Structure 1
Amino acid sequence: MDGSKNLANVFLLYNNYMEEEQNLREEIRALVRELEQTAREMTTILQSVHQQDGIQNVASVCEKTRSYYPAIKAHYSSLAAKVPKDQYYRFHDHWRFVTQRMAFVSALLVYLESEELATHEAVADAMGVVLTKEEGFILDLEDYLAGLLMLSAELSRFVVNSVTAGDYLRPFRVANFLSELSAGFRLLNLKNDGLRRRFDALKYDLKKVEEVVYDLSIRGLKPKQET
């Protein structure tokens, strides 16, 4: 009887552990949903750069998008307080996609503002997270790279809409940027299947942009700055 009682107590402990784990995951999911909502709002604002009035007012679109960063930082701060120390990767899947999306948004903002590549450190700082798990809640390097790879599809679309709006210089600059980005990723030994697939997509997007550049060139619409 004592053995059966001890066994029951052991399984009661297991049950308590599982319930606590489930409750924690639900709390984390709730925080992630709030983060996702803010990220969607930022993405929606950024999408306006594809419209003619948005292309002509890129700076104001970026400024409005950046106004959401305090909320983003607060969301990540709440997650950092909720996730047990040293268990980041145990729960990582909950916020992996939205973090990649935020890395993309941050990288796109930097490009629209300066036409430069957003560094890992700059993106992490904008989001209110850090680079190494020893320092706290981190922006995983692969999540940052995934965010960069999302840029190509957005910029290839931006190129087409820029031409429609009469901006014939931008496609040449975007082509140069994506070419350099592609060259950078070629230096990496990508073992992550998701990153490899997205890199293949980047090559396809670069090809589309180069076709636009070629079409502008043969039609005599290549701006003097790029001749």
Structure 2
Amino acid sequence: MTRRSSSPSRHRRSSSRGTAPGPGPGGRGKLRIIGGDYRRRQLPVPDSPGLRPTPDRVRETLFNWLTGVTPGARVLDLYAGTGALGLEALSRGARQACFVERESRVAQGLGTNLETLGASDRGRVAAQATEVFLAGPATPFDLVFLDPPFRQELAEAACVALEENGWLAPEAWIYVEVEQELALSVPARWQLHREVKAGDTLGRLYRRQARHASPSPAGDAC
């Protein structure tokens, strides 16, 4: 998620997460892939108010933590926005990524960028609200990025839905970005691994603790 505003219908938020790339030709910004097969590739970002890529420094830190996790992983990018995290994961060897983005024009731009990278066979875009997506038929993912809009009380409900509705592999990794002042409660099986702070943002990486038995996949939702 890479948007900042207080409007629930636009799911953006105000933030000082770092310097974003300036606008490119025609008023568009650019998203730069910072590692992996697509390293240094620059992709257009739709001219949508508040839409900005996750800062390079935060992505670099996160994917250093996930060096041994990302290759071969099935990735779910919720409140995807520019898709910076999911695209970075694909660049670094993720097997598949599903991007959930409710705004149709932004979702279309994500699809175009996947085609540009030659990754449309590994990446799919679900153009719907995250809450609706998580209430549907589930299949487990190995790595989840959850960056909902700030100060709208969405993060905790999404964490519960991920855990209870069958979206997580037995030992999944979940990265959550929230406002620093939020006292976020996560499912008991999630163990905090690392955290990073940038501006008013707190990013936390959790590891889900496996049980002896886990439910079978319910289907392929994305």
Do both proteins adopt the same fold according to a TM-score greater than 0.5, normalized to the shorter chain? no
If each structure's strand is expressed as a fraction of its own residues, which one has the higher value?
A: 2
The alignment's TM-score, normalised by the length of structure 2, stands at 0.28
Relative CO higher for 1 or 2, CA cutoff 8 Å, sep ≥ 6?
2
Rg comparison, structure with higher value: 1
If each structure's helix is expressed as a fraction of its own residues, which one has the higher value?
A: 1
The alignment's TM-score, normalised by the length of structure 1, stands at 0.28
